[in-house]
């Protein structure tokens, strides 16, 4: 996703679809390993706070949320809504260490893993495992898209978008990389599909513009086909496949 993909307007537009897509059946295994006392939840790359708004009402315990993002504007927006106490943390994920998780009951993130590098995800996994802290990591794209009605250029645009994500980031390889990283360190890992299912409307149209734009940046030969391709937006139904991951490390060493 380009920098524009983190604009507050885009995050607000996608929040209902995110809430509908997240795999609620991972919450049972999560609740089973959380303490009964007050929870401290670290939300990495919190954006405008949509993960907090979704998850806080689904956990019974009192909660204190640490919202971490590198964008001060997003942090300000995230702090303005939701229940419970909040602490803001401005910082890069690449620097996450075990010490940063002292006293943290749960690490969460949403739509984050695919826009990180392998080193950043490895650092996140290492910190969680060393601290013995469970992680609920939702809405990571898997690289597969279904368009209805289908078109003859769909596979080319999908392949080009996935190549664009993989240039510097894990992109659609993020889920298998993360699962492997946690398992190699002895964590128990559960994963569930969490697809967006978009009817024709503003979100589908905005998603299509971003998807096509990234594909054309990666494969300029697609640019001539883009205007006709984008005209499909008014009638297009889309399934954008994602996956959610719950990792439960053993007790810290």
Whole-number mean pLDDT of the chain?
Answer: 92
Q: Express each pLDDT in 166-194 by its tens digit.
A: 998 999 999 999 999 999 999 999 999 99
Q: What is the DSSP letter of 47?
A: T
Q: Are 135 and 107 in contact (CB under 8 A)?
A: yes
Could you tell me the maximum CA-CA distance found in the chain, to the nearest angstrom? 58
All structural domains of the chain with their residue ranges: 3-142+169-195+239-248
Is residue 157 very low, low, confident or very high in pLDDT (cuts 50, 70, 90)? very high
For residues 108 and 56, the answer to whether their CB atoms sit within 8 Å is no
User: What pLDDT is attached to residue 5?
Assistant: 52
Task: Write down the pLDDT at residue 252.
Answer: 62
Task: Tally Cβ neighbours within 10 Å of residue 240.
Answer: 22
Give 3-state DSSP helix, strand, coil % of the chain, rounded to 5: 50, 25, 25
Kindly tell me if the per-residue pLDDT of 93 is higher than 80. Answer: no
What would the pLDDT profile of 189-214 be if each residue is shown by its tens digit? 999 999 999 999 999 999 999 999 99
* Predicted model pTM: 0.94
Tell me the CATH architecture of domain 3-142+169-195+239-248.
3-Layer(aba) Sandwich (3.40)
Q: What is the pLDDT of residue 1?
A: 36
pLDDT tens-digit profile of 209-243?
999 999 999 999 999 999 999 998 899 999 999 99
For residue 80, name the pLDDT band (cuts at 50, 70, 90).
confident
């Amino acid at each position: 996703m380009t920098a524009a993909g983190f604009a507050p307007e885009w995050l607000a537009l996608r929040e209902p679809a995110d809430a509908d897509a997240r795999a609620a059946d991972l919450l049972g295994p999560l609740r089973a390993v959380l303490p009964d006392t007050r929870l401290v939840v670290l939300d990495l790359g919190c954006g405008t706070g949509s993960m907090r708004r979704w998850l806080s009402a689904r956990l019974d315990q009192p909660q204190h949320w640490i919202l971490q993002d590198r964008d001060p504007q997003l942090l300000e927006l995230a702090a303005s809504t939701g229940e419970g106490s909040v602490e803001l943390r401005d910082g890069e994920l690449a620097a996450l260490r075990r010490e940063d998780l002292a006293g943290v009951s749960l690490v969460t993130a949403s739509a984050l893993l695919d826009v990180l590098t392998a080193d950043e995800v490895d650092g996140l996994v290492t910190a969680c495992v060393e601290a013995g802290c469970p992680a609920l990591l939702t809405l990571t794209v898997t690289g597969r898209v279904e368009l209805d009605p289908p078109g003859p250029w769909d596979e080319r645009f999908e392949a080009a978008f996935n190549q664009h994500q993989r240039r510097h980031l894990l992109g659609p390889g993020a889920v298998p990389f993360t699962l492997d990283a946690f398992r190699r360190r002895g964590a128990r890992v559960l994963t569930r599909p969490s697809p967006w299912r978009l009817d024709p409307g503003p979100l589908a149209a905005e998603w299509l513009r971003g998807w096509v734009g990234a594909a054309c940046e990666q494969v300029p030969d697609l640019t001539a086909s883009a205007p006709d391709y984008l005209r499909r937006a008014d009638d297009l139904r889309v399934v954008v496949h994602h996956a959610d991951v719950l990792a439960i490390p053993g007790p810290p060493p």
